[in-house]
Amino acid sequence: MNKTTAAYVLLLGGHALHVAEETWGHFRVMNMVGGTAPFLAINAVLFAIPVIFFISWRRGRRWAFWFSVVYAGFMAVQGLFHNLAWLVTGRYFNGFAGAVSGLWLIAAGVPLFFWLLEERPVG
């Protein structure tokens, strides 16, 4: 397994842990979508999509490469947002839960973003 594949797998793992942490800490968006069950249902779909990107990227699908770059960047920014929001507001529980796993998203997402770009398909 090369470094890019490893970072992708780590980002997907961090994504799953991030949803678990948001659920445990009752991330403020949960109330906006109707509670825990709808939040988890939405996140199940939002997790399945990058899994499809990963599988398709591994199979050499060019479209999946670009979606993977966007996914890596988005997850890193999301991790940064959770941490900044927690620091600015001081609210973790019933606020901006997800900051701890957000560090994982940053640590895996940033290198993945750049490593994917280094391996950009030609043509």
CA distance 112 to 74: 11
Q: Which pLDDT score, from 0 to 100, does residue 121 have? A: 85
pTM of the model: 0.95
Q: Which pLDDT score, from 0 to 100, does residue 122 have? A: 78
Q: Which pLDDT score, from 0 to 100, does residue 123 have? A: 66
Neighbours of 66 (CB within 10 A): 15
**How confident is the prediction along the chain (123 residues), in pLDDT tens digits per residue?**
999 999 999 999 999 999 999 999 999 999 999 999 999 999 999 999 999 999 999 999 999 999 999 999 999 999 999 999 999 999 999 999 999 999 999 999 999 999 999 999 876
Of residues 13, 43, 45, 23, the one with CA closest to residue 98 = 23
CA distance 34 to 29: 9
CA distance 43 to 20: 10
